[in-house]
Structure 1
Amino acid sequence: MAVKGKRQPHVLAVPFPAQGHVRPLMKLCRRIASRGIKVTFVNTEHIHAKVVAAMSEEDKRQNPIQLISIPDGLPPDDDRSPGFELMESVIRTMPGNLRNLIEKINGRSSDEKITCVIADITIGWILDVTQKLGAESVVFQSAAAAGMAMVLQIPKLIRAGNLDMNGSVKKNELINLSDNIPSWRKNELPWSFPGDLKTQSMVFETFMAGGKTAHRAKWLLCNTFYELEPPACNLIPNFLPVGPLLSTNNSKSSAIGGSFWLEDTTCFSWLDKQQIGSVIYVSFGSIAVFSQDQLNELALALEISSRPFLWVVRSNLANGSIVKFPNGFLERVAKRGKIVEWAPQEEVLAHSSIACFISHCGWNSTMEGLTMGVPFLCWPYFSDQFHNQSYICDMWKIGLRLNPDENGLRSRLEISTKIEMLLSDYSIKTNAVKLKEMALESVSGSESSSQNFETFIYHLKN
């Protein structure tokens, strides 16, 4: 029972300004709001505009959380690609902008005051600001528990000589936290920016700062479930795995909000016409880009496979430019291929016609794919995606690697061969179905993630 006179809970959520961070935190916030708790979601102005533009008028009316924005300090024409400029500007401007925002909200009414701030661990240092304003601190990890465990171990790894002060692995050694957690290789750490030590050093520093704040936070929430990563979960104090964070977690939730692009829903009528378990779904998330030569190899591999495919091709997928398909490709695959700029991925993966997922292995895609029981062909791009690949292929055995050749290209032969290997491997599909059942069970009734979420809600209200 709530204490008489106690302030009503008001949660302020702050993601890092990138699709893979905004979307899962927004899903969590919609679940929190569905329990009668006021939630204000803070994006940068640039991201806020993208999210709102991608929502229909009905979505805006139904959205249970308040969406507001703060500047990110960059000029309007900046491309805001992940890197030094974006990170430096966020670090420089976000603390002051957030302080002003919270003071403004708190000044309106005593009933409206912010009681809790949920911050992405990559910007966890902002909680130093919010704590001074009387708000409780909660850290959110949009990636794997293993990544959060790694961040919390940074000081120990530096003292032991495993990492230098730029976050680089010394002596080409592997980093290993537990026998039951895949090792991290050089250039595959959460903060790795190969070839850009300046950016890597800054990102590493922000992770260190976020890790220090996380040790003082009341709770550390994560889009995972205990049964998926028990060794990693056990390494983290005050840890509440609340995943998989899906649009279907709660009947009061919906799929609205969080996407940076308009979702092409015409893919559903196309999927409905395909045979069960026949479609290759291809999507590399919001950041990955490829050379035109590599995209040609992928296109020709999909053609060689003779299977139906749904391919998400962003307008900037070819190293920031429009993709040029091989001569005659679109005409030759017209009857069995569909290409869209952005898809409602969670719903696509849940469709009965999907056979496998060619993925960059971002954590959100990983969680959505495994929760729908879909086998993976892994094509990691950067950062934690390589570690997620190790989980998928080595620990969970629900996918296969797509290996580059001596020129760094995944060849059409490699891709088409691995498609056939994956779809003829009964054990991989069996493992994927088992993991799906485990994931869905974790968010049902009194099971792990469901119970953890209830614990957090009870704490917010009391």
Structure 2
Amino acid sequence: MTINTNNSNKKCRVFLIPHLARGHLIPMTDFAKLLAAAHPDMEPTMVVTPGNVSIIDPSLGQSPGFNGVQIVTYPFPFASTKTCVETMGVGSKEERTMLINQPTLLIQPALEELIIKYKPDVVVSDAMFYWAPSVAAQFGIPCILFVSGGTFPLVVFKRIYDMQPSMSVDADQITVSDLLGPKIVMPVPELPNYRIGHNEACDKVLDSLFGSWPDVYGIVFNTFRALEKEHCKEFERVQRKRAYFIGPVSLCNTSNVDGVIHRGGKGDVGCLKWLDGKEDGSVVYVSFGSECYFKSEQLHELAIGHGLEHSRRNFLWVVRGDNMEEWMPDGWEDRIAGRGFVVKRWPPQVTILSHSAIGAFMTHCGWNSVLEGLSVGVPMLTWPFASEEFINEKLLVEVIGCAAKVWDGGKRSTREEEHELVPRSAIAHAVFKFLEPGGEYVAMHSKAKNVGVLALAAMQEGGSSHGDIKNLVNDLFGLIGRK
């Protein structure tokens, strides 16, 4: 994708600063690649800690700087402590919590030093770094926020945010008011676990997101207008800021096969050969993201007895390896070898989902997984458990109609201690019925395929996302021209 501009004699140096989580690092790297491909004078630079270079570098090509994307590092804020985990989802739950709360403030001084040293023309900051717009403004540099989620969850959460003062503390559920499309009812336990008043750092992020954003030039979303048409318009109307809907970014540079396979880091590619031996649409892909911490009892229900093993369907399952010995019996992998494959390292998810053997995706409904599945037309079995994932599930199940819940027979919650165990019988039934040819879920499969067609069209020449990237590039060159 190449975009022409009248300001081609001026380089545009863009700093992109992602949060320390794969769900933020990966899509922002894709966005950097889109900027580099959009115009030869765009100079995007990913700004990360040294430990996160290995996550973003493989998708860029054989060496840093491939395709025009550079990498600059800054010291990890905890380098002088015993904590050496630099990416959420890699260490313990305690380290994960620290990575949410602390770097939002501790990264700020390092960013200021890098801005002084490199003098970028534009800063693109993860929305989690609520301080970035004011920092950029100190140096007279325009700032753009990158929102790693969609507009639907953000608009829904904005409504919930506005409703807080009038909400009953004893309410079991709330109806999201003044929302375009189907009525959305949220059980209170399914509201995000960082909801207002529960986390100081996240409260500041929300205040920034839902405030006036006086120092922000615009906002970039990894979504596309055909997927969230009404909610994209609603966001633009309410926020009155430049908004660019440039996704699905996972579809960028699909000709770079090696970069797509290793997007997010070097991982387990043996599963791709296993998929080659399976019939089209016969496999359910099971993955709950990089930050899933299922209890051993739940993993046992998912795997053993009447779970995946006795669902009578082929399955490819991504399993975190930190507690496998607690629930996986000796010989289990050998027993399911013909019909199941367990991935214990980072999965090449985009390549897996694009494989013709995949017929369904059992997912936690993290936004990246949602968009990566939809972009290739794969229907989903939903199993949310944290953050805004229950809101994303509403979009899939009740608005688009391309997904079904794995289980809806007990209490589900964003708080780990409130989760009820999802029984193995429910898992097996959901998987078997969802992949049944000509069964009750055939309409969901059809809707998912239609969304996949729309996603591809959005990224192609003349599509809405292509147009928004073009508008963004032209706006950026206009900014530095005026400066």
Matched, 1:43 2:48: yes
CA distance in 2 between partners of 1:340 and 1:23 (Å) = 20
Indicate which of 274, 278, 281 corresponds to 2:278.
Answer: 274
CA distance in 2 between partners of 1:446 and 1:328 (Å) = 53
Q: TM-score, normalised by structure 2?
A: 0.83
Change in CA separation of 1:203 and 1:259 when aligned onto 2, cut-off 3 Å: farther
- For 2:477, the equivalent position in structure 1 comes to 461
Q: Any stretches of 5+ residues in structure 2 without a counterpart?
A: 237-241, 412-418, 479-483
Indicate which of 103, 114, 120 corresponds to 1:101.
Answer: 114
Give the CA deviation at 1:155. Answer: 7.0
One-letter amino acid of the structure 1 residue matched with residue 36 of structure 2 = A
Find the residue that maps to 1:212 and give its secondary structure: coil
Give the CA deviation at 1:307. Answer: 2.0
- For 1:224, the equivalent position in structure 2 comes to 223
Give the CA deviation at 1:445. Answer: 2.1
Matched, 1:203 2:202: yes
Give the CA deviation at 1:77. Answer: 2.4
Contact 2:318 2:343 in 1 (8 A): yes
- For 1:136, the equivalent position in structure 2 comes to 142
CA distance in 1 between partners of 2:424 and 2:171 (Å) = 36
Contact 2:19 2:128 in 1 (8 A): yes
Contact 1:141 1:222 in 2 (8 A): yes
- For 1:338, the equivalent position in structure 2 comes to 341
- For 1:9, the equivalent position in structure 2 comes to 12
Deviation string 1:252-296 (CA, Å, 9 cap, x unpaired) is: 797369855422111111111111111111111100111111111
Give the CA deviation at 1:302. Answer: 1.4
Contact 1:225 1:448 in 2 (8 A): yes
Indicate which of 426, 438, 445 corresponds to 2:454.
Answer: 438
Change in CA separation of 1:63 and 1:254 when aligned onto 2, cut-off 3 Å: farther
Deviation string 1:335-370 (CA, Å, 9 cap, x unpaired) is: 222111221101110100001111111111000111
CA distance in 2 between partners of 1:128 and 1:226 (Å) = 29
CA distance in 2 between partners of 1:56 and 1:205 (Å) = 33
Change in CA separation of 1:153 and 1:125 when aligned onto 2, cut-off 3 Å: farther
- For 1:110, the equivalent position in structure 2 comes to none
243-252 vs 419-428, which moves further: 243-252
Give the CA deviation at 1:324. Answer: 3.5
Change in CA separation of 1:236 and 1:280 when aligned onto 2, cut-off 3 Å: same
Find the residue that maps to 2:125 and give its secondary structure: strand
Q: How does 1:152-191 map to 2 (within 5 A)?
A: 156-157=162-163, 161-162=166-167, 173-180=174-181, 182-190=184-192
Change in CA separation of 1:448 and 1:215 when aligned onto 2, cut-off 3 Å: farther
One-letter amino acid of the structure 1 residue matched with residue 424 of structure 2 = R
Matched, 1:239 2:243: yes
Contact 1:313 1:340 in 2 (8 A): yes
Find the residue that maps to 1:246 and give its secondary structure: helix
Compute the RMSD of aligned alpha carbons: 3.0
Find the residue that maps to 2:461 and give its secondary structure: coil
Give the CA deviation at 1:444. Answer: 1.8
CA distance in 1 between partners of 2:452 and 2:170 (Å) = 35
One-letter amino acid of the structure 1 residue matched with residue 126 of structure 2 = D
One-letter amino acid of the structure 2 residue matched with residue 97 of structure 1 = A
Deviation string 1:53-97 (CA, Å, 9 cap, x unpaired) is: x67982546353111222342235255557653233213312211
Q: How does 1:33-432 map to 2 (within 5 A)?
A: 33-34=36-37, 35-36=39-40, 37-48=42-53, 50-52=55-57, 58=62, 60=64, 62=66, 64-74=68-78, 75-79=81-85, 81=93, 84-106=97-119, 114-150=120-156, 156-157=162-163, 161-162=166-167, 173-180=174-181, 182-190=184-192, 192-193=193-194, 200-212=199-211, 214=213, 216-237=215-236, 238-248=242-252, 251=255, 255=259, 261-300=265-304, 301-316=307-322, 318=323, 324-341=327-344, 342-403=346-407, 405=410, 408-423=420-435, 424=439, 425-432=441-448
Give the CA deviation at 1:23. Answer: 0.7
Change in CA separation of 1:458 and 1:241 when aligned onto 2, cut-off 3 Å: same
Deviation string 1:85-129 (CA, Å, 9 cap, x unpaired) is: 3233213312211011110112xxxxxxx1111111121321110
Q: How many residues align?
A: 442
Contact 1:178 1:231 in 2 (8 A): no
One-letter amino acid of the structure 1 residue matched with residue 368 of structure 2 = N
Change in CA separation of 1:259 and 1:444 when aligned onto 2, cut-off 3 Å: closer
Give the CA deviation at 1:169. Answer: 9.9
CA distance in 2 between partners of 1:224 and 1:56 (Å) = 21
Q: Any stretches of 5+ residues in structure 1 without a counterpart?
A: 107-113
Q: % of aligned pairs identical?
A: 25
Give the CA deviation at 1:146. Answer: 2.0
Deviation string 1:5-42 (CA, Å, 9 cap, x unpaired) is: x7521110011111111111110111101222111111
Find the residue that maps to 2:250 and give its secondary structure: coil
Change in CA separation of 1:73 and 1:183 when aligned onto 2, cut-off 3 Å: farther
Contact 2:289 2:366 in 1 (8 A): yes
CA distance in 1 between partners of 2:452 and 2:54 (Å) = 34
